[in-house]
Structure 1
Amino acid sequence: MNKSVLIINTTIFLLFLLSLPTISHSQRCNKNDEKVLFQIKKSLGNPYLLASWQKTLDCCEWYNVECDANTSRIIALTIFSGNISGQIPKEVGDLPYLQTLVFRKLTNLTGEIPSAITKLTHLTMLRLSWTNLSGPVPSFLSQLKNLDFLDLSFNDLTGSIPPELATLTKLNALHLDRNKLTGVIPDSFGRFTGNVPDLYLSHNQLTGTVPISLGYLNFTTIDFSRNQLTGDLSMFFGTNKTIQIADFSRNSFEFNLSQVEFPASLTSLDLNHNKIYGSLPATLTGLDLQYFNVSYNRLCGKVPQGGELQKFDNTSYFHNRCLCGSPLPACT
């Protein structure tokens, strides 16, 4: 083959390649997913936050949306911090491959959590927080067996905590804080059969004692602060425990702190504004504490010297019955 023929053949081949239809962005997006997203946009009143949701742009390129790199199915819907009014559209349940669903910092988002969410069997993260969602924490959320993160904080949710949530075996964190929840902490929360999740129940109106069953688990983080809880918390501590952050402040807990053994893992302990009595155990000096507060209790005796205890100022200790010693005034 001479050189000119080779050039002609090469040119023809290149022109052939150029003539082939290319996969445009508009062809990547799954049409069923795109249709559902347009329904969601319409249900929310076509807000400016979703202005990029247009036919002229592939839905995998839209803001607030993420597609799987291989299948191009929608796997994340993250609607965050915008002027959106209305309720969570039931159509979110029609995105069958969704793994992450977030509605966050949307103060005009109202209504209850829709049961359509239970259709999202692949969901691993559900974050509905900083909104004006109301109604109960739905027990049907326990059907989302792949959840590893559930955040319903900073809402207007009412009623009791559904015990069924303890059946979520993959859960790493449960945020129910900053709502208007009432009733008791479910006894089932001491029977998580998979992961032991970080547990955030603060700033509610929970009452009663903490179930003893919770003491059988090794939590890493617990925040029960600002409720109306009572009873003994010593079950959460012990040399064999792994708790790192414990906030039980502003409740009515009442127990003797003197004989409590704290695990080496503990870095933050907040017990302020309770009815805790006894003395501070000397074993506290062996901990690498980053935060510590036992103020407004009924403690007595000398603050143990050493470790990290003296790096905290008197506000971490004051308003106790007869606690003394640095950083408080000297014992007499």
Structure 2
Amino acid sequence: MFNGVIPANISSGCSNLELLDLSYNELVGSIPKETSFLFKLTFVSFSNNNLVGGISPSLGNISSIEVFSVTSNVLLGGSIPGTLGQWKALKEFYSHDCNLHGTIPQEFSRLTRLSILELGRNKIHGVIPTNISGCSNLQSLDLSNNKLVGSIPKEISYLSKLVNLVLEDNNLNGGIPPFMVNIKSMETLIISRNPLCGSIPDNIGHWKNLRHFICTNCNLSGTIPHSLFNLSLLINLTLDDNQLKGSLPPVMMLPNLVFLQLSVNKLTGYLPPSISNCSRLNYLELAVNKFSGKLTINFAKLRDITFITLGQNNFGSSEVDEMKFFDSLENCTQLKLLDLRGCNFQGVLPVSIGNLSNQLQSLYLNGNQLHGKLPESIGSLSGLELLSLGSNQFTGNIPSTIGNLRRLMALYLYRNHLSGHIPDAIGNITMLLRLSLFSNTLVGVIPSSLENCKNLTALYLNDNKLNGIIPTKLLQLSSLSISMNLSQNNLFGSLPTEVGDLKMLNSMDLSENNLSGSLPSSLGGCASLLVLSLRSNSFQGVIPSSLSSLKGLMNLDISHNKLLGQIPTFLQYFKLEYLDMSYNDFEGEVPMLGVFSNASAFSILGNSRLCGGIIELGLPRCKETHKNRHTHNILNVYQEDETAMQNQETHAQIRDKWLASILKIGVSCSMDSPQDRMDMKNVVDGLKHILDNVKNI
């Protein structure tokens, strides 16, 4: 592998050079102009280097070039010189991912022998030139990932030899022109992520050689022409994320289809059983549509199927055998993802679920109305990494066989009617990252076996009937970083000091339990906390000063406890968006900065011994307690040292001036009528102004 620059004397002694291939090196610098003196060059490749300085216009002098490539020089830059239109012999031009800008040169229309033009992943703007039709031998045109605008010109239809047209990720509009169907040789059309609008031409079925038709996120409307489903060579039909409507044809003749991706549209009707005739199908993605009716696809015929996503449709039939299609999935030995979430299934999960492929990695059945018990056979899905069965109506215990899913990283059983204990076997799933069992009727203690889940980042056990103490081993799972929610249970005892080991945790919710005792000072070790809720427990004592370390807190709820003492002043310096300290026994002065300056952002209701604070609170003024009152720093600055005494007269005058200002503010704050008092913001700003000035004396 070479590095450094391309030598400027490259043309010296190489006048007969025909092939120059410097690709896949670590070359830097620019392409030397001297290269243009190699008049016999037919093949030039500088691809996959670190070249800069653009494509030199002087290269247009090499009229013999047939193949030119600068692909993957991401810092090359510059525009495409119009002089390259002099390359009459050019057949292939590659400049993918070169940070090129400017427009496509009009001079390219002279390249009548050009068969491949790749300009993808650049910053080329403007319109596709209409005289592109001059490239009469063009077979492959890639203009993807640029900043092209306007419509697809009708002149493209004159490119009778065009096989591949790739225009994705631009800003093209005007729909898919019907005249493009005149290009009988078309095999690949990729125009995803353009605001095309319009409909798919009805005569698209005339493209008998079509293999790839990919138009994701193009705002297409209307129906999908049924003639598309009779193109026997079609491999990829991807039209997801559009506004397409209508139904699929009852008969599909697509023996070579590998990708059928029509998700996120407005398609209706039932899924035709003839989908099972697409024997080479790998990807069946029809999620987020309005399909309905019982699933009658014989998946057993789709032996190569890898991904099935049919979620968010309405396949519920209320028939006893509506889940029978699971039996036919047993033969899908390559299946890795099965997504049937939100499909309104109302049956019982069949025992045959355990016979699904051991290649299955993700199973989504959440958001249905499935009922009955979770089959123990589910523990046979040894390849599972994600199991989502939340928001159903499952009853009974969580089967202990779930502990056999050793590769599982996410387990979601939330919002069901599951009962009994959390099985100890769940601790066998040592790769678990997320465990979500909230909103069930689980009882018993939190299993100590969870200490084995050393990778756990999120734990949701809230809204159950769990009791006992919080296991200290659970709090020593330093991997917990996203959330630990144990709220709405019957947990009791004190908060263990080990809570301070959760140094990476962002959210902790222990609200609505029976926890008691003092808040441990170690809680200040949870330095990553953004949300902390201890609401509705029986915590008592003062707020420990160590909580001043929780500087990232945005939401703090300690309401409905038995906490007492003064409100810590450090809370006003946090970036709190909401603070609830209501219904405790706090006393003394309410701070006025930070969250305490916005009455709608905090609550101190039910603390009858508080005083002061912003006017909106309507609290009584705090009584003067000279014995405990400390002189503010703003006055301490006047304690003169020996140097200051030398300028005593000047300092005394300045001191009197600022003291008068302070007294004026103090008098305003002491007015009986709230309307006559100075606004607190002005008070703070005024005192800060005085402090800044006296510090400079």
Superposition TM-score, scaled by structure 1 size: 0.78
- TM-aligned CA distance change 1:264 to 1:296, over 3 Å: same
Partner of 2:471: 211
Partner of 1:48: 292
Inter-partner Cα distance in structure 2 for 1:239 and 1:85: 44
Partner of 1:42: none
Q: Is the counterpart of residue 273 in structure 1 residue 517 in structure 2?
A: no
Partner of 1:24: 256
Partner of 2:363: 101
Partner of 1:226: 488
Judge which range, 74-83 or 319-328, deviates more: 319-328
- TM-aligned CA distance change 1:232 to 1:48, over 3 Å: same
Counterpart AA for 2:531: S
User: Cα offset for 1:258?
Assistant: 5.9
Q: Is the counterpart of residue 126 in structure 1 residue 372 in structure 2?
A: no
Inter-partner Cα distance in structure 2 for 1:307 and 1:322: 19
User: Cα offset for 1:77?
Assistant: 1.2
- Which structure has the larger Rg over C-alpha atoms? 2
1:312 aligns with one of 575, 578, 585: 578
Inter-partner Cα distance in structure 2 for 1:236 and 1:184: 18
Deviation digits for residues 30-85 of structure 1, max 9, x if unmatched?
8xxx9xxxxxxxxxxxx936658368x966686428xxxxx992211111223221
Helix, strand or coil: the match of 1:133? strand
Inter-partner Cα distance in structure 2 for 1:302 and 1:209: 29
Deviation digits for residues 127-165 of structure 1, max 9, x if unmatched?
101000001011110001110000100000000111111
Q: Is the counterpart of residue 257 in structure 1 residue 519 in structure 2?
A: yes
User: Cα offset for 1:266?
Assistant: 1.1
Contact 2:462/2:485 (<8 A) preserved: yes
Counterpart AA for 1:211: P
User: Cα offset for 1:309?
Assistant: 7.0
Helix, strand or coil: the match of 1:177? coil
Contact 1:299/1:323 (<8 A) preserved: no
Counterpart AA for 1:294: I
- TM-aligned CA distance change 1:195 to 1:321, over 3 Å: same
Contact 1:191/1:214 (<8 A) preserved: no
Inter-partner Cα distance in structure 1 for 2:487 and 2:523: 21
Helix, strand or coil: the match of 2:279? helix
Inter-partner Cα distance in structure 2 for 1:226 and 1:203: 5
Identical-pair percentage: 27
Q: Is the counterpart of residue 64 in structure 1 residue 310 in structure 2?
A: yes
Contact 2:411/2:436 (<8 A) preserved: yes
Helix, strand or coil: the match of 1:174? strand
Where do residues 48-197 of structure 1 align in structure 2 (5 Å cutoff)?
48=292, 51=295, 53=297, 63-64=309-310, 73-96=334-357, 97-107=359-369, 109-192=370-453, 194-197=454-457
Unmatched 5+ stretches in structure 2? 1-184, 186-208, 210-231, 234-254, 258-277, 285-290, 312-331, 597-603, 605-609, 613-621, 623-697
1:296 aligns with one of 560, 566, 569: 560
Counterpart AA for 2:361: Q
Structure with more relative contact order (C-alpha pairs < 8 Å, separation 6 or more): 1
Inter-partner Cα distance in structure 1 for 2:384 and 2:422: 21
Query: Aligned residue pairs: how many?
Result: 289
- TM-aligned CA distance change 1:61 to 1:232, over 3 Å: closer
Partner of 1:5: none
Inter-partner Cα distance in structure 2 for 1:154 and 1:61: 26
Helix, strand or coil: the match of 1:105? coil
Judge which range, 265-274 or 319-328, deviates more: 319-328
User: Cα offset for 1:225?
Assistant: 0.2
User: Cα offset for 1:310?
Assistant: 6.3
User: Cα offset for 1:93?
Assistant: 2.2
Counterpart AA for 1:274: N
Superposition TM-score, scaled by structure 2 size: 0.39
Inter-partner Cα distance in structure 2 for 1:98 and 1:61: 9
Helix, strand or coil: the match of 2:474? helix
Judge which range, 239-248 or 124-133, deviates more: 239-248
Partner of 2:676: none
Contact 1:257/1:277 (<8 A) preserved: yes
Contact 1:248/1:271 (<8 A) preserved: yes
- TM-aligned CA distance change 1:62 to 1:227, over 3 Å: closer
Inter-partner Cα distance in structure 2 for 1:93 and 1:49: 25
Partner of 1:199: 459
- TM-aligned CA distance change 1:260 to 1:302, over 3 Å: farther
User: Cα offset for 1:239?
Assistant: 6.7
Partner of 1:330: 611
Unmatched 5+ stretches in structure 1? 1-13, 35-46, 66-70
Contact 2:435/2:458 (<8 A) preserved: yes
- TM-aligned CA distance change 1:50 to 1:147, over 3 Å: farther
Helix, strand or coil: the match of 1:81? coil
2:508 aligns with one of 246, 260, 273: 246
Counterpart AA for 1:303: I
Inter-partner Cα distance in structure 1 for 2:294 and 2:498: 46
Inter-partner Cα distance in structure 1 for 2:419 and 2:501: 37
Inter-partner Cα distance in structure 1 for 2:407 and 2:477: 21
Helix, strand or coil: the match of 1:98? coil
User: Cα offset for 1:98?
Assistant: 1.1
Deviation digits for residues 197-236 of structure 1, max 9, x if unmatched?
4211000001111122223322222100000000122434
Deviation digits for residues 168-204 of structure 1, max 9, x if unmatched?
1110010111000011111222333x41342110000
User: Cα offset for 1:302?
Assistant: 1.6
Counterpart AA for 1:307: Y
Inter-partner Cα distance in structure 2 for 1:297 and 1:140: 40
